[in-house]
Structure 1
Amino acid sequence: MSDFMIGVGGLLAMFGLMVFRMPVGMAMLAAGYFGTMLISGGRSANAMFVTEAFSATSNYNLTVIPLFILMGNIASVAGFSSRLYEAAFAWVGWLRGGLASASILGCAAFAAVSGSSVATAVTIGKVALPEMKRFGYSDALATGAIAAGGTLGFLIPPSTGFVLYAILTEESIGQLFMAGILPGLLLTLLFMAAVGLMTFIDPKAGPRGEWVPMAKRMMALLRAFPLLIVIVVSIGGIYLGVFTPVEAAGVGAGLVILMALAMRKLEWRAFKQAITATVGTTAMLYLIIIGASVLNPFLALTYVPATLGEAMTSAGLGPYGVLMLIILAYLVLGMFMDGLAMLVVTTPIFFPIITGMGFDPIWFGVIAVIVIEMGMITPPVGLNVFVVKSVAQDVPMATIFRGVIPFWIAMAVGLLAIIVFPQIALIIPQAMFQ
């Protein structure tokens, strides 16, 4: 059997293991390790496993992951996340569909703390869904808004997706974080526009909330102000060059802990809960990184990425035709795979093709993350849909999937805008290094 066929067989075996519910990191690790053993022998496979695993986990830049996850978990258990939603509700809740728009704004704000799509959807969903139910919102609009808004946690910095992409491609985490700001704001506005259109067509789907006087709006904003300060300090510090991303994560986590202690919002049991959740999520992400670090050298040995790249570039489709093929592949994979798994599996294959076509690697990172976001709300898997289902257990899955369709279309519009106008993603990171 040729090395190329061993590579193809290894990828098929990896996907098969994922179908049988093996953890993503372990499936990649098994495919990479045993595939290398078939090609180069057991000694080479052992040496590769040890060196790659140590090299991946000892990467200083990965420290940003547990620190930002800790920041989001502390903010959640201390109740800061509900303050973000309350502030958004006070300012836009009185509009038609305002509670859904407030949920999206709350997701966008909390995304800038947590860096996790799942955490964003769960945290804001627990606060927002009961309120929308109380005001008579349709189940489709309420759950669709939370599922779509939660995906912003994968795009708005600090994004774990950008951290993994940066590690895999050796790009700058800081530049990727900055590249996600304007696209994140664009998607937030498009989601709110989708809510406006849906409630214009069917006013009963999202009735107006209560009118909030200006004094109460300012009070709600003041209550959310401490966490907004943390967001501005950590992300603004990266932009101004005051902090590296790792330092910004440490400063942000430290500030959130100090605020929670000063405001007596952090009990010992809640603190232990946040630490435990942080360790569990970090361990899962590190396992994925180790698996990817073992899988990628195996794929390089089999020439699968190079062969696929040659086939795509020789098809005569041109750069944007190849880009559309890659996006289509992401959309198909997104129907069945977890977003992080898809990112670590496909980046080593698609990244050389993209750079060979002359596309900006930072720009492509944003494109990849947005398409993966779309996969998070695409049936039959749609991870964020299942997350929202766990919060809204009385709502059928079909209703939630129906509710996310307008937001999926809004994401497609945003993706097209960033492809046509790359500066939406590149203007801020380019300004950082002028």
Structure 2
Amino acid sequence: MSDIAIGGIGMAVLLAMLAFRIPVAFAMFFVGFVGISLLHNSASAMSLLASESFTLASSQELVVIPLFILMGNVATVTGMSRRLYDAAYAIVGSFRGGLASATVIGCGGFAALSGSSVASALTMGKVSLGEMKRFNYDERLSTGVVAAGGTLGILIPPSTGFVIYAILVEQSIGRLFLAGVLPGLLLAAMFILTVTMLCYWKPEFGPAGPKTSLRQKGRAFLGAAPIVSITLLTIGGIYGGFFSPVEAAAVGAGLVIFVGALMGHLSLKGLWSAARESVVTTASVMLIVMSASLINPFLALSHIPQVAGDFLVNLPVPPLAILMLILLTYVVLGCFLDSLAMLVLTLPIFFPVIVNFGYDPIWFGVLVVLTLEMGLISPPVGMNVFIVKSVAKDVPLGRIFAGVIPFFLAMLLTLAIIVAFPQVSLILPNTMIN
């Protein structure tokens, strides 16, 4: 049997295992180990498993993952995420659809703490869905905006998706973080515009909330000031060259813990709960990263990336058409596969093609992460949709998927803008001091 045939069978087995809900990391470990054993020998597979796993586990760059996850979990335990929503509500809550717009702003702010789309959707769902139900918001709008707003967690830095992308293709984590800032803000603005247009078209979708006094606005801003300041300090520190991404993560996590304890909102029990949750989340992410140390060599030995890359490069179409085809592939795969698994499986094939065409790898990273976001609200998997369903148990799943359609279209428009104007994502990393 040829190497390519073994590689093709291996990929088919991997997709089948994922379809049967085998954990992503275990499925990739199994296929990668067996595949390398068949194409080379079992001793090589065992040696690679031991050496690469240890190397990745001891990588300093990957320290950003547990630190930023801890930062987000502590912010949740101390109620900082709630105060972000309250501040956003004080600004736009009195407008038509204001609660939905406040949810988008709150999701964006929480995304800058946790780097997790699932955590953003879950946290903001608990905070905002009850309020929107109280003011008779259409359940399609209320659940759709939470599911879509949560996707900002994988784009607005710190982003786990950017970290994994950087490790897999050997790019700067700091530059990728900065590249996600303006596209993340653009996407949030698109979501707010979508809410405004929906509520203008059908006013009953999102009635205006009660007006807040100047004093109430000031109190809300004051409550959110510490966490906003910490976020600006960490991202601004990376941009100004004062912090590396690892140092920024350490500063952010340390300050969140310090401020939470100083204000009396963080108990030892709460800190333990946040730390335990951070360990569990980090372990699952690290397992996926380590599984890449087996699946990627297996793909390389099978020559599938080389054959697929040569096929794409030699297609008689312009490079832009190839880029569109790659992005469309990510959108379709996002309907079925976990986002991190998609990065591990596809980058060995697509990244060399992108480099060959002369496209900027940082810009491509933003495009990839944005298309991964779209998968989070696409049927039939739509992880964020199921997260929202777990909070809004009385809302049928079909109505939640219906509610995310306008926001999915807004994401498509944002993707088109970033493709047409790469400087939206490149201006900050290209002007950073270090």
Which of the five TM-score ranges fits, normalised by the shorter chain? over 0.9
Superposed, 1:19-418 pairs within 5 Å as 19-418=19-418
What is the Cα deviation at residue 57 of structure 1? 1.4
Q: State the AA in 2 paired with 1:135.
A: F
What is the Cα deviation at residue 268 of structure 1? 2.1
What is the Cα deviation at residue 318 of structure 1? 1.6
Normalization by structure 2: what TM-score?
A: 0.99
- Alignment deviations for residues 29-78 of structure 1 (CA, whole Å, 9 cap, x no partner): 11111000001111111112112212221211000000000000000011
Is the 2:35–2:298 Cα contact (8 Å) retained in structure 1?
Answer: yes
Distance 1:329 1:309 in 2: 14
What is the Cα deviation at residue 5 of structure 1? 1.0
What is the Cα deviation at residue 330 of structure 1? 0.6
Distance 2:267 2:56 in 1: 35
Is the 1:339–1:375 Cα contact (8 Å) retained in structure 2?
Answer: yes
- Alignment deviations for residues 178-223 of structure 1 (CA, whole Å, 9 cap, x no partner): 0000000000000000001111111000000011122211220111
Q: State the AA in 2 paired with 1:250.
A: A
* 4+ long deviations beyond 2 Å: none
Is the 1:99–1:209 Cα contact (8 Å) retained in structure 2?
Answer: yes
Distance 2:212 2:32 in 1: 57
What secondary structure does 2:316 align onto?
Answer: coil
Is the 1:53–1:294 Cα contact (8 Å) retained in structure 2?
Answer: no
What is the Cα deviation at residue 428 of structure 1? 0.4
Q: State the AA in 2 paired with 1:271.
A: L
1:428 aligns to 2:428 (yes or no): yes
What secondary structure does 2:328 align onto?
Answer: helix
- Give the unaligned 5+ runs of structure 2: none
Distance 2:25 2:241 in 1: 34
Q: State the AA in 1 paired with 2:103.
A: S
What is the Cα deviation at residue 327 of structure 1? 0.9
Distance 1:123 1:132 in 2: 15
Q: State the AA in 2 paired with 1:335.
A: C
Is the 2:74–2:271 Cα contact (8 Å) retained in structure 1?
Answer: yes
Is the 2:159–2:177 Cα contact (8 Å) retained in structure 1?
Answer: yes
Is the 1:80–1:227 Cα contact (8 Å) retained in structure 2?
Answer: yes
Distance 2:384 2:317 in 1: 34
Distance 1:382 1:341 in 2: 15
Distance 1:31 1:345 in 2: 12
- Give the unaligned 5+ runs of structure 1: none
Higher deviation after alignment, 398-407 or 43-52: 43-52
Distance 2:389 2:348 in 1: 33
Normalization by structure 1: what TM-score?
A: 0.99
Is the 2:179–2:429 Cα contact (8 Å) retained in structure 1?
Answer: yes
Q: State the AA in 1 paired with 2:339.
A: G
Distance 2:218 2:342 in 1: 42
Distance 1:356 1:405 in 2: 35
What is the Cα deviation at residue 433 of structure 1? 4.7
- Alignment deviations for residues 142-186 of structure 1 (CA, whole Å, 9 cap, x no partner): 000000000000000000000000000110000000000000000
Higher deviation after alignment, 339-348 or 167-176: 339-348
What secondary structure does 2:12 align onto?
Answer: helix
Distance 1:201 1:253 in 2: 43
What is the Cα deviation at residue 296 of structure 1? 0.5
Identity %: 53
Is the 1:162–1:173 Cα contact (8 Å) retained in structure 2?
Answer: yes
